[in-house]
Structure 1
Amino acid sequence: MRSPFRIAVCLAVGLLLAGCAGNTSYSGSTYTVKRGDTLYRISRMTGTSVKDLASMNGISPPYTIEVGQRLKVKGAAKASASSGKLAKVRPSSSVPQSSWPPVGQRCWRWPTTGKVILTYSTSDGGNKGIDIAGSRGQAIYAAGAGKVVYVGSQLRGYGNLIMIKHSEDYITAYAHNDTLLVNNGQSVRSGQKIATMGSTDADSVRLHFQLRYRATAIDPLRYLPPQGSVPKC
């Protein structure tokens, strides 16, 4: 049986790989802006916080960038240093969409309420979860009962992050929190308040939520009930 620490490390690597996948404009200490990019997205891909990107490149709110613009980044060296110990660890499997678990197999609840401003994407470098906008200090809840396997801010681009293991197959991740209310190894109930919403390593107040099945990020909207309703399973 894999230990909770190993599960957490596998997910951490998965998040890092998802943040860098498909990026052909990132080389060394510079990044070339592509169509559809935002500072938030570039932060995810390069491991440079939004605050640092803005400061290093003289960009002021509302953080407008242009296609073809070359930005200074500093994520490469730090990412390699922080991921060096993880280099030998990889997610245990990659589950094709045709083999995702059936809807209703497990009971999930919304981790918070608000407008979904970024949806899940299967494209390389796409969003591997959903982003939900809200107010600073808004409650974040565990989407299901489980055990906390990671609490921290070591993964650049995700801010204050919580990961919860729900079984050998499922893990949920909650990023950009303001206040963290749980500890590593703690058991949590479904619907238990685990954090408050913030904007750590993000360009606006939001929750980035991931649902992972056997280390593969799957679309949370496929498995969550209608927002505002109580799960019936």
Structure 2
Amino acid sequence: MINPLRRVMCLAIILLMAGCAGNKSSVGSYSGGVYTVKRGDTLYRISRITGTSIKDLAGMNGLSPPYTIEVGQQLKVKGSAKTASSSGKGSGKTAKVVPSSAVPQSSWPPVGDRCWRWPTTGKVVMTYSTAEGGNKGIDIAGSRGQPIYAAGAGKVVYVGNQLRGYGNLIMIKHSEDYITAYAHNDTLLVNNGQSVKAGQKIATMGSSDTDSVKLHFQLRYRATAIDPLRYLPPQGSPPKC
């Protein structure tokens, strides 16, 4: 019998990265230096299949963390020109692996629906984007060892570094609708299944799996990444709800 906490952790990872591992029998096709994404693919998996590093895949295709890709999307690769076919016949339909707008902006929750706190302080060096391959959260620059705080009260559903592109990652479930994610941490200070309070220190800032010291912060509503800056108060100010 699957441990309930492990089930929640896997669900959280699915919401963030398009699946725990994907269907191993389904492999995308690539020929002539172009790889066509299939359901269950992640950038890490494509890297292993094609022999192209994640850094090269991201650079060649203009992808930024968290490296969102879609079924049917064609990616440039450095692997040899050969074809790997799916074990089953494709339907020909295109579907998103990680829907960036499954909940359209017109249906995003109203500001003040919940009280959110800044997870840390610092300059926002990359903002949220709805563009294909765009940033699905905000990146906040700071100093190594700087405190990272829970943006709201909830339960920790993931602590680890198994997801390529995120480094040391923490995910907190706040309700059936909301999950927050905190990536690239240095030290992790909470455990899976732990309840946390809003503003509780959960990690320290680092540069794990990235090239600069920063926090990548995501706010997800019903599995959809929404713009955190729309819901956070001005830096240095307490929540207004």
TM-score (norm 1): 0.70
Q: Which residue of 2 aligns with 1:113?
A: 121
Q: Report the equivalent of 2:83.
A: none
Question: Using the alignment, how far apart are the partners of 2:61 and 2:168 within structure 1?
Answer: 28
Q: How many residues align?
A: 183
Contact 2:66-2:166 within 8 A present in 1 as well: yes
- Unmatched 5+ stretches in structure 2: 20-29, 36-49, 69-75, 80-96
Identity of aligned residues (%): 72
Matched with 1:14 is 15
Higher relative contact order (CA 8 A, sep 6+): 1
Counterpart in the other structure of 2:148:
140
* Residues 132-162 of structure 1 deviation map (CA, whole Å, 9 limit, x = unaligned): 0000000000000001011000101100000
Residue type of the alignment partner of 2:12: L
Distance in 2, Cα, partners of 1:157 & 1:26: 21
- Specify the structure having the higher radius of gyration (Cα): 2
Aligned-partner Cα distance in 2 for 1:96–1:7: 25
**2:214 aligned to which of 206, 212, 216:** 206
Native 8 Å contact 2:62 2:133 kept in 1: no
**Please, which of 181, 186, 191 is the counterpart of residue 189 of structure 2?**
181
Whole-angstrom distance in 2 between the partners of 1:91 and 1:4:
22
Q: Does 1:168 pair with 2:168?
A: no
Native 8 Å contact 1:132 1:208 kept in 2? yes
Which residue of 130, 138, 141 maps to 1:130?
138
Q: Distance in 2 between matches of 1:4 and 1:212?
A: 19
Q: In 2 relative to 1, CA 103–188 (structure 1 residues): closer, same or farther, beyond 3 Å?
A: same
TM-score, normalised relative to structure 2: 0.68
Of 180, 202, 207, which aligns to 1:194? 202
Q: Structure 1 CA distance, aligned partners of 2:106 and 2:7?
A: 27
**Matched-pair contact (CA < 8 Å) for 1:148–1:184:** yes
- Asked if 1:96 is matched to 2:104, the reply is yes
Encode CA deviations 1:94-131: one digit per residue, 9 max, x unaligned: 21111100000000000000000010011111110000
Q: Are the equivalent residues in 2 in contact too, given 1:11–1:91 (CA < 8 A)?
A: no
